[in-house]
Amino acid sequence: MTKPRLWITRRLSDATLERAARDYDVVINHEDTPGTAEELIAASAEFDAIIPCHSEHFSADVVAQFSDRLKIVANHSVGVDHCDLPALKARGIAVTNTPDVLSDATAELAMLLMLGTARHAVAGDRIVRTGAWDSWSPAFMVGKQVTGARLGIIGMGRVGRAFAAKARGFDMEIHYYNRSALPADQAQGAIYHDSVESLLGVADFLSLHCPATPDTINLMNADRFALLPEGAVVVNTARGALVDEAALLDAMATGRVAAAGLDCFQVEPGGNPAFAAHENIFMLPHIGSATRKTRDAMGFRALDNLDAFFAGQTPGDLL
C-alpha cells in the first residue's frame, strides 16, 4: 500500500523522525526554519499530512489557498492559536494537537520562573558571574517567600493542574479561575473563583495557563494588573498574547507587580527588548515543553493521531 506523504516542518526528536520515516513517505525540513505561508500552500498540494509546530501559521488567508490534497494537520503542540480552526474545518482538513504529554515539563518551567523571579535569579546570577559580588548583608537580595503564599492560577486545565500539584509541595494556598469549577478530585482543595477579577485580589503569585483565543488576548491588561495585591509576582508559560506587555511594565513601575517570569512573548522569536532593562523580569525563550522526554512524547502523540486518521479511525486528539 502506498504510504501517505507527510511533511514535518521542523526538526523533531530523533525518535519521532525515525518512526515517521518508517511509517510515512516523509519529507523533513532538516534546516529547521519556520514554514512560510508559501511553503505551507505548496505543501498542501504535495502532501496528505503536515506535522507543524506553533511556528507555522495556518491563517484563514493561507488555508484558503490550500489544494484539496492536504487531509490533516497533526500539530506538534498543545496550543493551536497558530491555526485558524474554522478555516481548516471549512476545508475539511482534520486538526489535532498534543495535550497531556507536556503538562509536567511546562509546569516545571513555571515553577522555575516563579522561584527565580521571587528570589532574584537574574540579578543574583549576573552579580556573581560578572565578579560584581563584593559584599553581603542581611538586607541583600531579599525576596518574596513562595512557601505558604497564595497562588492564583488562571486556566485549570492539564498544565494548570500539574502546576498546582507542584505548588502544593510548597504548601501554597491555591486559588483558580476556570470557565467552570473542577470536580473535587481534580480541584484537590484549590479554591474556585468565578471571575478573573475575584482571583486577582488574592494572587500574591499569579500563573497563566489558559489558551490564547479571541477572548483571552490581553487578558492581563492595565485594569487587571491594578487588582493584584501590591508586590505580586506574575508568571506566563502559556502564550504571550495573554499579557499586555506595556501594561505589565507600567504595573512593575508602580510596584504593583514586583517581578515577572515569562517564557512567552507577544513577539516570538525575539521577545520584548523593553524587558531587557529589568532584572526583575526572568525570561526564557518559549521552552516550556523542551525536555527530551516531552519532545519524544509530543512527536509520538502527533504520529499516533496521524496513524489513527490514516487507519480510518478518529484521532484521539481531534479538535
What lies within 8 Å, CB to CB, of 125 at 6+ separation is none
Q: How far is the CB of 269 from ligand DGY (least distance, A)?
A: 12
Q: How far is the CB of 203 from ligand DGY (least distance, A)?
A: 22
Q: How far apart are CA 200 and CA 252, in angstroms?
A: 16
Angle at 79 between CA 281 and CA 47, to 5 degrees: 130
Closest to ligand DGY by CB, 4 vs 160, is: 160
50 near ligand DGY, rule: CB under 6 A = no
Name the segment binding ligand DGY (CB under 6 A); options: 11-19, 77-85, 157-165, 175-183: 77-85
Q: How many Cα atoms within 13 Å fall on the side-chain side of residue 109?
A: 25
Closest to ligand DGY by CB, 216 vs 251, is: 216
Q: What are phi and psi of 7, to 5 degrees?
A: -110, 125
99, 76 in Cβ contact below 8 A? Answer: no
Closest to ligand DGY by CB, 53 vs 112, is: 53
Q: How far is the CB of 282 from ligand DGY (least distance, A)?
A: 18
Burial class (CB in 10 A: 0-12, 13-18, 19+), 214: exposed
162, 106 in Cβ contact below 8 A? Answer: yes
CA proximity to 81, closest of 207, 217, 180 = 217
CA proximity to 160, closest of 121, 96, 210 = 210
Name the segment binding ligand DGY (CB under 6 A); options: 13-21, 71-79, 107-115, 117-125: 71-79
Closest to ligand DGY by CB, 79 vs 157, is: 79
**Binds ligand DGY by CB under 6 A, chosen from 13, 207, 236, 289:** 289
How many chain residues interact with ligand DGY (CB under 6 A)? 8
Binding mask 91-110 for ligand DGY (x = CB under 6 A): -----------x--------
Q: How far is the CB of 270 from ligand DGY (least distance, A)?
A: 16
User: What are the residues binding ligand DGY (CB under 6 A)?
Assistant: 53-54, 77-79, 102, 288-289
